[in-house]
Amino acid sequence: MSSRVEILNDGGYRSDGRKQYELRDIVIDLSQRGTADGSASITHGLTEVLVEVFGPREAKVRAQTMHDRALINVEVNIVPFSTGERRKRSRGDKRILELGSTIKSTFEPVVQTSLYPRSEIDIFVHVLQQDGGLLQASINASTLALISAGIPLHDFVCAVTGGVHSTAPMLDLTTLEENDIPHVTVAVMPKTKKVTLVTMETRLHVDRFGDIFKLACEAGQVIHKEMKRAVSERTQKLVTAMEMGPRVVPSADVGDRDAMIDDLNDY
């Protein structure tokens, strides 16, 4: 049976003009927003996600407090205008709850929660625009927001979605492609080469899984370079602001500047 849409044309190009292995343009903004301890927005093509992080802070619900580590909470909000769907998704929507649960389980082994016993770290994910790769964008923005908040991680977490059209592996899928071909989302930690998430919402033949998994891991390294560059530029701006004197950052000293640079180099 032929595909309902043309995923790859005769020249090997996709509907948005990319080749099979090309990633969409990535735009990262680490500007501080409101009262959040850390925030970040990322766009993968036409998909845009903003994440705000609060904490570590005192746990709101004492019964959920863990004496040896921090509790990670994730809440996802999909704005009504982010998608072509007419139906408004509530916070109790099954898909939203699953997305939040997946993000939470992805970061629990990565965030150094043992440093903050009896506290909580709240991650608020705001989906502003959707065109495929929603989970990958949410994970990548969450990584950057946690780093922006100064919360220690064992490594970056870099996610990408891949699929297989006929026998052709493809990376960083749009909604059109996700709706038509089997796909998988992989999140890797580039420094340790560990995989913290592999999830499939569709059935993918086992003979094709190995190829797309390897490609997704390699693509994660590419995304890591973009993310680290953004963090480095943001850190340099903060260091420059500190060096301008106490009127800009009253509490800044040489130790603070060196510590920020050391923290970045740890990744």
Domain 26-265 sits in CATH 3.30.230.70: yes
Q: How confident is the model at residue 267 (pLDDT cuts 50, 70, 90)?
A: low
CA distance 27 to 125: 17
Residue 13 token pair: 């190009």
CA distance 190 to 177: 26
Q: How confident is the model at residue 252 (pLDDT cuts 50, 70, 90)?
A: very low
CA distance 54 to 77: 16
Where is average pLDDT lowest: 7-16, 31-40, 82-91, 248-257?
Answer: 248-257
So what's the pLDDT on residue 251? 44
Sorted by where each begins, the domain ranges of the chain are 26-265
Q: How confident is the model at residue 243 (pLDDT cuts 50, 70, 90)?
A: confident
DSSP 8-state assignment for residue 203: -
For residue range 2-46, list pLDDT tens digits in order.
Answer: 445 688 888 889 989 999 999 999 999 999 888 999 999 999 999
Q: Which residue has the higher pLDDT, 42 or 238?
A: 42
